[in-house]
Amino acid sequence: MTDQRQITPGSLSRIQQNYLASGERKLLNWLCARLPDWVTPDMLTSLGLFGAAMTFVGYVASNFGSAWLLLAIAGYGVQWFGDSLDGSIARFRHIERPSYGYFIDHSCDGLTTLLILAGMGLSPFVTMDVAMIALAGYLLLSIHAYLSARVLGELKLSYLAAGPTELRFVLIGLTIMMMLLGSENGLFGSVSGFDLFVGGVGGVLMILFVLQTLSTGRRLAKMDVRPDRPAPFIADGPR
Q: Show pLDDT as tens, one digit a residue, over the chain (239 residues).
A: 334 455 666 566 767 677 787 888 899 999 999 999 999 999 999 999 999 999 999 999 999 999 999 999 999 999 999 999 999 999 999 998 988 988 999 899 999 999 999 999 999 999 999 999 999 999 999 999 888 888 888 777 767 777 788 889 999 999 999 999 887 665 555 678 899 999 999 999 999 999 989 988 998 888 876 655 554 444 454 44
Residue 229 phi, psi dihedral angles, 5° rounding: -160, 155
Cβ neighbour number for residue 102 with a 10 Å cutoff: 19
- All structural domains of the chain with their residue ranges: 14-224
Nearest to 45 by CA among 98, 89, 99, 92: 89
**Predicted local confidence at residue 94, as pLDDT:** 92
**Predicted local confidence at residue 127, as pLDDT:** 93
Nearest to 205 by CA among 173, 166, 159, 174: 159
> What contacts 143, CB < 8 A, 6 or more positions away?
209
DSSP category for residue 1: -
What's the one-letter identity of residue 65?
G
CATH number of 14-224: 1.20.120.1760
| Residues paired with 154 in a beta bridge | 13
